[in-house]
Structure 1
């Protein structure tokens, strides 16, 4: 790897990223949680009000409050998804919450079809993997507990509990891969924007990423491709806002 692209790897990348989070980006994380709280608290208040109005016969008021609960629930889910991507942008760019939110929303809107496709396929594959892990664990437990069937009054009850627990454990581990998929998708969208702003940077990729193809081969991604003829090599990402620090970028 070229020295100008090289970034020293810390001994503990996880602890280094955690330190940068606490030192530089704790306010951004708190702001994102605070925004969600502003929507969640009114929703819980309305739900509590509906629970207290069970004996009230005013059907119109109940329906209006139910609509508000539904709308606030949709807004909360949208904000949680946006925050999820904003934190990813903050980690690799070093921007504060608002600029990172603008960048994340632009990437999601500009590549809405690709985002929906990747999320749908990725969620389907991860769901099937979770079911496979939970099913394999349950089948193994079935044969292991076969000798105890005569002493169990409800033999299928422990297997159902085991399937649910196995599914939740697999969900915890595979959520890391889900975050990785979303991070790679955002990085690919950001890389495409950077290469459009500075096509000469494609030549720098040829000196960093080994490959037999041309420069355009290095730019292929689900969001499109860039074809650039060989030209003079320019400084990496000259005139762009790309941040080279890998382990959770420091603030700008």
Structure 2
């Protein structure tokens, strides 16, 4: 697994360089072709095309140079990122139950969605029927002194008060008109929506902290063979016993931000019919701001849950500690985050692409499990292939979230390990020998006197 991570990282980096170099070659070739076109050399259109290819060539060369310089100057940090990804692979491999843990929050979230829909339907079904007086006249035999035409009525009371009118005029009745929602229904709908977002964020936060506690236990165990067999179970127990308030507070902040974003989308959908440029600009700015705010809150919450799992402090102290730790190592954080995202994206695309290719060959009848069996021909076999691709990518994202959490947790543990320890006998480093070698550090061995 270690060499696989190294190969993927460096092949990806050199692949990006090769792609940029190819872009430079193509744009330069096109520029030379348009420059050597003798028939249209002085044509205005040819001149514009030639200038465009020249601009593309210069831009490609600049991007290539910037990426090459970044790789050269950040090569050591890229090696650290690769080593951390390898450590995350070791952690997940040591505690295999973490791979199946995402099924638990997924089932809980499906239950929350079903419960919210059921509550929504129940609130709508709690509306009261409205009855109106029908067939009455202002004057004459079909009039009733207690009711005017169209007045609201109750069937039993109407029949008692207007009994004589009903006997003369059979078309008179207290008939059903419509359903009318209760006065408090809107408040119940609002509570239901807020609870929906809050509980979903809470379940996601619970999953993050349970995994963070598991992987931090793995990292801070000096001898990895001493990691508890039920590390994930113990982490879930600690989370439920000590950190429910932390999860509730952090998830509430994120839920409020997400609820504001949904509200803005709802308002924007109703304001589009007015076609006001100023309003569109303001709404776009608001949506962009709250999108960035939600991303920032997710980042803060994730680090806070990790630090809370390590130290057991409350949300605010953990968020501050995690944020300060990241800011002191901002370049390392940026490189590791981008390399990790790229590797996980490659893994997701590889698995999804393989399943799509397999589904394509099966549904297109290019592959038969048994040659004696006859398979029906599909009129549009791309539809099941698309469904398989979407489902595979969704399942892959669920399981790869474990790997992403492992990398984030081990990375923060690694940064704290560097600041807390110095490699002495009293304060040894907990990181792997590979990381120690990359950083040029080592643990001193205890010598008996």
User: For this structure pair, what is the TM-score category when the shorter chain's length is used for normalisation?
Assistant: 0.7 to 0.9
2: CA distance, partners of 1:207 / 1:82: 26
1: CA distance, partners of 2:316 / 2:411: 20
**Structure 1 partner of 2:230:** 12
2: CA distance, partners of 1:47 / 1:145: 39
1:203 to 425, 431, 446: 425
Structure-1-length-normalised TM-score: 0.74
Query: 2:365 aligns to what SS in structure 1?
Result: helix
Question: With CA pairs under 8 Å and 6+ residues apart, which has the higher RCO, 1 or 2?
Answer: 1
Considering only aligned residues, what root-mean-square deviation do their CA atoms show, in Å? 3.3
2: CA distance, partners of 1:131 / 1:50: 34
Query: 1:202 aligns to what SS in structure 2?
Result: coil
1: CA distance, partners of 2:253 / 2:298: 9
**Structure 1 partner of 2:30:** none
Alpha-carbon deviation of 1:206?
6.1
**Structure 2 partner of 1:76:** 294
Native 8 Å contact 2:254 2:297 kept in 1: yes
1:185 pairs with 2:411: yes
**Structure 2 partner of 1:46:** 264
Q: Which is greater in Rg? A: 2
2: CA distance, partners of 1:87 / 1:209: 21
**Structure 1 partner of 2:315:** 97
The one-character-per-residue Cα deviations of 1:44-100 (angstroms, maximum 9, x if unpaired) are: 222222211122243212311220111011011110111112111111121111111
1: CA distance, partners of 2:303 / 2:240: 19
**Structure 2 partner of 1:88:** 306
Query: 1:74 aligns to what SS in structure 2?
Result: helix
Unaligned runs of at least 5 residues, structure 1: 212-216, 234-252
Which is worse superposed, 17-26 or 45-54?
A: 45-54
Aligned in 2, Cα 1:66/1:9: closer, same or farther, shift over 3 Å? same
Unaligned runs of at least 5 residues, structure 2: 1-220, 367-374
Number of matched residues?
219
Native 8 Å contact 2:264 2:287 kept in 1: yes
Structure-2-length-normalised TM-score: 0.44
The one-character-per-residue Cα deviations of 1:150-198 (angstroms, maximum 9, x if unpaired) are: 7211122211221121121111111111111111110010111102xxx
Which is worse superposed, 119-128 or 142-151?
A: 142-151
Aligned in 2, Cα 1:145/1:44: closer, same or farther, shift over 3 Å? closer
1: CA distance, partners of 2:355 / 2:233: 33
Which is worse superposed, 147-156 or 124-133?
A: 147-156
2:377 to 151, 154, 158: 151
1: CA distance, partners of 2:230 / 2:322: 28
